[in-house]
Structures are given as structure tokens and as C-alpha cells.
Amino acid sequence: MAVLYPAQPIGLDRAAKVLLDIAGTEANTAIGLSRLGVRTRFISRVGDDPFGRRIRATLDREGVDIGFLETDSSAPTGIFFREPLADGARRVYYYRSGSAASRMTPEGLNPEAFRGARIVHLSGITPALSVTAAATVRRAIEIARQVNARVSFDPNYRAPLWDRGTAAAILTDLVRQVDIVLMSEEDATVLFGGGDTFALARAAELGPATVVVKQAERGAIALCADKLYHSAPRRVKQVVDTVGAGDGFNAGFLAATLRGLDIQECLDLGAEIGAKAVGRLGDYAGYPRKREKRKGAALSGAKGKREK
């Protein structure tokens, strides 16, 4: 999608200047992974309009493969507006009904796009867009199994897109079909109706090998092979914008997974990237690149872009 938000931390009704960028959890995660040296491909649809062209150009500039990003000449690119609230949260206004992405169909997925993939990452936002988009997610899981790729899933519940009951039923069913679940605390509550550790256990009972709850400023916890892991929160000099932190966590966790690191290291890299995201305005602007060093292990732990 394209996103517009005030250049200053004020409401849209008072903003004299707004900034335009691309956004969306899948695009953010793809950019974060690419910056960490992971070979990444983005599969979706955009409209034949300035917003679709900007999405293409941005992803391409970030090193994301857009060879299977289709252009729909008869539907617009989805757009949303975001504004800050007094308590530091954000309010969003979606304009994506009938968008190009909402018109994705299972038949439109090209199995060739999945060739060589080791992880296929999906989000719960896509099935909220339309019946055909939901069917496309299920088909993507089927193709992932055919190419022996693991499936990662961020439920990413968004109240403005669908009612809570429908969302819980569909997202819980998808949890049953994946290998890695990366959920927020809100996801944990909506899907499983309990605290974080309770949600970990309930989700794991459905089948995923690894379940994570991202706890924002409190770090993150994971359950894998009946063992509980915890990553402590990272020190942040200044919180500028929390949007994109969860997607940054996803990128770090999945990059570490592809490097064969253990669950604790995956959690730690996810927490680190998520913390870096909040220091700059914009969804993905704060994500580090692999040439940037950190104490302990270097972000350039993978040589070249060999993971996928």
C-alpha cells in the first residue's frame, strides 16, 4: 500500500504537510530481510498508478525481487492514512476496498515464484481483504509445502478490516497450517483470549513448531519444543515512531532462522531490529543494513544474499 501521515506529530485535520511512502507488513518485512542480506521476493498486486509505481521502485531499490509483483490496470493501489494519538498510539484510515491486492486469486499464484524459497512469510491482513485473497493465502501455504519451504505467519489482526469473531476463526485456522507464528500481544488476546504464555501454549497445541509473542517494550517470548525462551527489551535512546517495529522483529527473527541460529539468537536479533525501527519516523526507515555492526555478532553474519 501507499501511506500518508503528518510530517509532525499532530492529527491529520491539523497537518499542513503530509509525507508519502510505501507501507504494509509484508513489504516492511521484505525490506527488513533484504537489508539483512536475505534474498527476498515480494508477491502481490498493485495498480497501474503512481502509488503502484512507487511501491515497485522502492522495493526494487531495497533489493527485493519484484518479478512476481503484478500490475492490475483495472484496480487501484491500496492507500491508507495514519495519524498519531496523544497517548503515542496511531489511528489508521484504510482505503483499500476493491484494491489491486484485494483482487488476488489462488489461480493467479505462479508456483514458479516459490521455487527455491526456504521460508514463505504471510500475514493475517491479506485474508481480511476479500474472499479470494483469503483463498490465495491458503493456496500459498499449499505451494510452500510442495517446494518444502517453511511457512511463517504474522496474524497481524487489524480491527478496521474485519470483525473480531470472523478474524479469530480464520486466523486461528491459519495458525494450524504454519510452522512459525509471530504474533503481537493483541493477536494473542484476540485469537486465544488469554495472557502471553497461555497464548503460546494454545497456539503451539495447534501445530506450529515455533510460536512467538512480541511484547513491544518488554521484549519477546517464544515456545519451541516445549521450552520457553525470553528476550529482554533493548535500550532505545528515543522513541520516534513505533510503526514497523513488529515487522522489523519478523525480519530479524527470520533472518536468524535462515542462518541456522538457535531460538534464543533468533529472538535476540528480532528484538534488536524491532528496537532500531522505533528510532526513526516511517515504517522501515530505521531498519539496519547488514554492513552496520553491532556488539557481539555482526549484522553481516551472512555472506552475500544466499538465504531466501
Within-domain flag for 289? no
Helix (H, G, I), strand (E, B) or coil at 95: strand
Residues 275-280 have a mean pLDDT of: 91
pLDDT of residue 306: 42
Within-domain flag for 285? no
Within-domain flag for 229? yes
Within-domain flag for 299? no
pLDDT of residue 301: 31
Within-domain flag for 305? no
Question: pLDDT band at residue 304, thresholds of 50, 70 and 90?
Answer: very low
List of residues 6+ apart from 239 with CB closer than 8 A: 88, 278, 279
Within-domain flag for 139? yes
Within-domain flag for 37? yes
How are beta strands 69-72 and 90-95 bridged, if at all?
Answer: unpaired
List of residues 6+ apart from 106 with CB closer than 8 A: 132, 135, 136, 138, 139
Within-domain flag for 282? no
Could you read off the pLDDT of 278-298 as tens digits, one per residue?
Answer: 988 889 999 999 754 343 333
In terms of residue numbers, what domain contains 212? 2-277
Please give the Cα distance from 111 to 139 (Å, whole number): 10
pLDDT of residue 291: 54
Could you read off the pLDDT of 161-171 as tens digits, one per residue?
Answer: 999 999 999 99
CATH code of residue 255: 3.40.1190.20
* Torsion from C-alpha of 140, 246, 6, 160, nearest 10 degrees: 60
Tally of domains within the chain: 1
Please give the Cα distance from 269 to 41 (Å, whole number): 21
Q: Over the chain, what is the mean pLDDT? A: 92
Catalytic residues: 247
Helix (H, G, I), strand (E, B) or coil at 277: helix
